[in-house]
Structure 1
């Protein structure tokens, strides 16, 4: 099994990797397919494009900016390109148009009428489905594609989804030198090779990238996380969406700076994690880590390690490599999608990844790293994804702070032990998957249950 650290961590924009970034990528892909079709079938003009959102995308798409993502993707934008753009102004402009230029050909598209939120039965393959159609002048569908946004900004088509395993395309085991598919294999390969998790992960990556390219990619990921954290610590105001949630990270950070002797580890971690997720909620630049909804956990733990504990540049790279190794195991054997398994797959996965990375740079053995990840994930099992108002704000922002705290605690517990423990990481991942399968759809990013329906309006 192999999933690159440069794929797992993606630089993009908020508020959701599965509901914003994934649909944007899908819309752009469909645009490209349409352009090729139109080039050889221009006699069928004028063409008309439509997108139907299904399942969780239909129920929480408005709050997660899925409609905005579709508009941006059809207009040829990608998440990385928008990281430093004024997205609100851009979307306002594009939303006022009823025609899109597809490589010189005008295609009819009215965002109000042609983005359909279908709250009927979801597609059977995955809860985050979307159907794109290109129709000719008489309304006949001449090109259609079904996409699934499978978490972390990854997408797949209907034809491809049967080739996936929760939800990764299978690669032959010879595709990398250390093809561990579970934590037990990871520990055995580490013992047999006398290599650390970071060294094995780097070796696997170097079979696909040059060393300079890999290091540049890792550095870009950390730079984006660092920038996002600092942006959140310096911003205030009301978050968009209608809940009128006030940003708190800046005020909290100022209090900690003014009286550092009264500040605890938990205070710092919460300030950093909340700063990132407030940026995500505002639709600004974040890094999927492994998702946008959980984007604050890993940056908070890593930012604290650098700022307060003197973590080096090389340790930052190792942290990201180890975190990605654990994230890949979770993604391969379960899911990082809130729509599939609830928030245990988002913040829970992020906490496990952060715990593993922190344990590694503190000198932990492979067994201690596995233990740290297990401890962090275990104490998120059963966590629902029930965003209030379909927005990635309540309880998501605070939840990232607690995910960071649990990650740090898990790493500390593991590093003080000998790596031996009762519950394995593999068993914990399996438990998360089974819990997600048995969890009601009301608690899996539909805003139909839990906190999302526990608000008393006055």
Structure 2
């Protein structure tokens, strides 16, 4: 089983990997098929109008998560990795006025009225996944020419109906390209590490270098960390009210300024490490909530945990270097790949345990690795972090990735550091295997009521009065 580090760590925009990045990517894929796909096009038929329907969680929390905006931008030819967050409002305003999208390479473009042609269908879920979308293309007489259903399955991953069925049929079996260390679960990862004498990061690097040169891999890892760093810095520099209507204030800058003052005055603070962790995580997720540039880690909703722990490591361990950053990312991606392969990283599928829980496990594994942990200690760190997120629901107030999401990232980072510290102080032996925690998360997600899976129909979403 192979999932690249760059599949888990994607550079994109907020506020949600499954509700923003995925739908934007899906729309772009639909455009590609319209232009060059091998689909049964009637003679002399030309696409004139586009329409989209959003289903399940995308319908219930799509507006709060920016799904409507993302789909429109995708149909206009934009993709998450290169779209400029500062220009999106201008583009959307123009489309609303013209009632037309003009993707590059598509001639005069297509008719598309956001108010009429983008439907949030809360009544009819699509069968494959909670995050379903249907894209439709019509001719000038409104005859349907092409219809495609796809699903945003978490972390920015998008699959068609056929691809989803193949994923389900190969679940638990070997999949993906052949690599030297194709571990499908944590038990296989530990066994391969023992046989080879390699660390988890070294095995992951060897797998990645089947497809990339060492320089390309390192450059890519450095770009990911650069984007994470940039997100932290932007989050620490901004103030004001986050968009969406809840009137939630950004707090990271004010808290950061206060903490820096304590640092300068050398005031005793027994919570210093926790404070820095929380502020870094909140900075990322405030920026994500505002629709800024962010890295899935493994999702946007959980994007603050891994960067916060990495920045914490650099803050308190001045001897850390760029190789530590690469080791951290490779190790955490190995654990994240196992979780995604055997359970889910989608809040709409298994709740927030799949987002912040997975991120905390990944961050704990990465930190344990750079602290010199053995593969067994690293696996233990990931298990501790994941175990103590089991059952966590996804219940965003107002359908926005703000409350409780921003603070959950802060607490996920704190748990990750605690888990790594506990694991490093042991010898790697422990009672609950990581694989058992992952399977428990999967089963818990199946049992969880749909109201607690990113629909904003339960939990804090219905028990907090919106201001």
Smaller-chain TM-score bracket: over 0.9
1:9 aligns with 2:9: yes
1:266 aligns with 2:281: no
Name the counterpart of 1:330.
339
CA distance in 2, matches of 1:408, 1:83: 34
CA distance in 2, matches of 1:89, 1:301: 36
CA distance in 1, matches of 2:392, 2:195: 36
Task: Tell me the alpha carbon deviations over residues 261-291 of structure 1, each in whole angstroms, 9 at most, x when there is no partner.
Answer: 3441110000000000000000000000000
Displacement, 1:140? 1.6
1:143 aligns with 2:146: yes
CA distance in 1, matches of 2:149, 2:173: 21
Name the counterpart of 1:94.
95
Q: Compared with structure 1, are the counterparts of its residues 268 and 56 closer, same or farther at alpha carbon in structure 2 (3 Å cutoff)?
A: same
Alignment of 1:137-286 (within 5 A): 137-165=140-168, 172=175, 175-260=178-263, 261-263=267-269, 264-286=272-294
TM-score of the superposed pair, with normalisation by structure 1: 0.97
Give the paired residue count.
458
Task: Tell me the alpha carbon deviations over residues 334-385 of structure 1, each in whole angstroms, 9 at most, x when there is no partner.
Answer: 0000000000000000000000000000000000000000000000000000
Task: Tell me the alpha carbon deviations over residues 428-447 of structure 1, each in whole angstroms, 9 at most, x when there is no partner.
Answer: 00000000000000000000
Displacement, 1:173? 7.5
8 A contact 2:2–2:175 mirrored in 1: no
Name the counterpart of 2:410.
401
Displacement, 1:121? 3.0
8 A contact 2:16–2:65 mirrored in 1: yes
Name the counterpart of 1:72.
73
CA distance in 1, matches of 2:85, 2:323: 27
8 A contact 1:46–1:106 mirrored in 2: no
CA distance in 2, matches of 1:378, 1:436: 14
DSSP 3-state at the match of 2:134: strand
Displacement, 1:388? 0.2
Name the counterpart of 1:425.
434
DSSP 3-state at the match of 1:54: strand
CA distance in 2, matches of 1:100, 1:168: 38
Q: Compared with structure 1, are the counterparts of its residues 390 and 84 closer, same or farther at alpha carbon in structure 2 (3 Å cutoff)?
A: closer
Q: Compared with structure 1, are the counterparts of its residues 352 and 3 closer, same or farther at alpha carbon in structure 2 (3 Å cutoff)?
A: same
Displacement, 1:52? 0.5
Moved more, 95-104 or 222-231: 95-104
Unaligned segments of structure 1, at least 5 residues: none
DSSP 3-state at the match of 1:105: coil
Alignment of 1:110-149 (within 5 A): 110-149=113-152
CA distance in 1, matches of 2:369, 2:249: 36
DSSP 3-state at the match of 2:102: strand
TM-score of the superposed pair, with normalisation by structure 2: 0.95
Alignment of 1:292-311 (within 5 A): 292-310=300-318, 311=320
DSSP 3-state at the match of 1:442: helix
What's the RMSD between the two structures over aligned residues?
1.9
Displacement, 1:404? 0.1
Q: Compared with structure 1, are the counterparts of its residues 169 and 145 closer, same or farther at alpha carbon in structure 2 (3 Å cutoff)?
A: farther
CA distance in 2, matches of 1:350, 1:119: 29
DSSP 3-state at the match of 2:301: coil
